[in-house]
Amino acid sequence: MTIGRKSLIATLSVVVMLLSANQSHSRRVVRCRGSRFARCNGQRVPCPQQCPDTCQMDCETCKAVCSCDKPGGVCQDPRFIGGDGIMFYFHGKKDKDFCLVSDSDVHINAHFMGKRGKGMGRDFTWVHSIGLLFCGTHRFFLGAKKVATWNDSLDQLAIALDGKSITLPQDEGASLSVSPLKMIITRLHPNNEVSVEVEDKFKITARVVPITPEESRIHSYGITSDDCFAHLELSFKFYSLSPHVTGVLGQTYATDYTSPINVGLPMPVMGGKEKYLSSNLFATDCKVSRFRGEVEEEKIQDFSILDLNWVAVAWSAAGRQIHIYTDTVHASRNKLPTAKNNLVDFMQSVTINNKCYYLSLLACLFSVQYTHFAFSSFILFICSISIHINYCDYPDTN
């Protein structure tokens, strides 16, 4: 009896080991590539059981993580994981484009595809494609092709840069480098999955997936045989967003962002879709847009706090060396003095004597060279105050 029990236990142990090995074998294996990931470069790790086919390698921790459950994830009926780690849904509207991220030098829109559910007051929606503007006015498109019947062995990704289609060899690890843009596009799987990375800007992982008949049945999507609604599952990672970034996803990375999401709800929803609506996939006309294409222009025109670092202006007159130093000037837009007051203060300063006049003129011309004319009245005001403090209001001690 004891021998029979031992045999049974041994047999069950072997079965468990075989099942575990089979489950591990059926799971996708991911790895890090590149010399910068020396710690785990080439190390192969199976996906977690909860996402056996849709994980990514975290090359900082050398662990496989579910793509849709990490900050920057956008999957399903768009389910977002914000930069703050909070999960929310944003349904948008079918056949419309919405701003996901908008910053001074990068803008990302998403085109929503969808289907109105029977008896529903809203559309079921998924992200069909994304359009990126970056490095000035370069345009990158990434989307899913329309597919009736899904076949894992066929690639259904559409990729284009500045209107020109891009085709990658269907081999895992195949890549295309666009040197002038410091951009690299890499296949993470022979079909339907790529990563797009622009050095020091962002990295996007995209995977094309269908709505399966089982998903349609469970959620009452009503998917028919003529269209499996192939769509994108996305994962974003950003390297250099500004503190004032906006957009459905982008705002969750802003320094002053406080989530309005009620995390206690089973389906917390981000509202305000009108703010994020764009006229097309590459438009930057959503109400919260901050894209300018040039970082330098944005820094001057759009910051609510201006940082104007001026070089010292030196002036020598009547045997005395006069130095005017203006360090960092902080001024809120809504506190700018009026043009009339600027002119009065300036005229008061320049009528003291000719030396003040010439010094004022020199400082103002210098400042206009390095600022936009929209702020010239403000600069004029600062110039006159500087002259009052540094020279005009004080007697010559020589």
- pLDDT reported for residue 156: 97
Distance CA(56)–CA(71), nearest Å, equals 12
Cβ neighbours, 10 Å, residue 284: 16
Confidence category of residue 294, pLDDT binned at 50, 70, 90 = low
Convert the pLDDT of each residue in 337-392 to its tens digit.
Answer: 344 444 444 344 444 444 444 555 455 444 444 444 444 445 555 555 554 445 44
Phi/psi at 131 (nearest 5 deg)?
A: -125, 125
pLDDT at 326 over 50: no
As a whole-number percent, the residues of the chain with pLDDT over 90 amount to 48
Concatenated DSSP letters of 154-177: S--EEEEETTEE----SSTT-EEE
Distance CA(194)–CA(185), nearest Å, equals 7
User: 207: helix, coil or strand?
Assistant: strand
Distance CA(148)–CA(321), nearest Å, equals 81
User: 78: helix, coil or strand?
Assistant: coil
Amino acid, res. 398: N
The contacts found for 150-159 with CB under 8 angstroms, 24 or more apart, are 150/210, 150/212, 150/228, 150/230, 152/191, 152/192, 153/191, 154/191, 155/190, 155/191, 155/192, 156/191, 156/192, 156/208, 156/230, 157/191, 157/192, 157/193, 157/194, 157/206, 157/208, 158/129, 159/185, 159/194
106-116 and 320-324 beta bridge pairing: unpaired
Token couple for 378: 């403000």
Distance CA(389)–CA(379), nearest Å, equals 15
pLDDT at 295 over 60: no
Let me know: does 392 contact 352? Beta carbons within 8 Å: yes
pLDDT at 81 over 80: yes
User: 76: helix, coil or strand?
Assistant: coil
| Cα 111 to Cα 132, 134, 231, 282, 313, distances in angstroms | 12, 18, 10, 10, 52
- pLDDT reported for residue 379: 53
**Cβ-based neighbours of 277, under 8 Å, separated by 6 or more:** 96, 97, 98, 99, 286, 287
Distance CA(46)–CA(195), nearest Å, equals 19
Confidence category of residue 77, pLDDT binned at 50, 70, 90 = confident
Cβ neighbours, 10 Å, residue 102: 25
pLDDT at 316 over 90: no
Convert the pLDDT of each residue in 93-127 to its tens digit.
Answer: 999 999 999 999 999 999 999 988 777 778 899 99
CA angle 370, 135, 248 (to 5 degrees): 100
pTM (predicted TM-score): 0.67
The 8-class DSSP code of residue 269 comes to B
Convert the pLDDT of each residue in 134-151 to its tens digit.
Answer: 998 899 999 999 999 999
**Residue that the structure tokens 């006049």 belong to:** 357
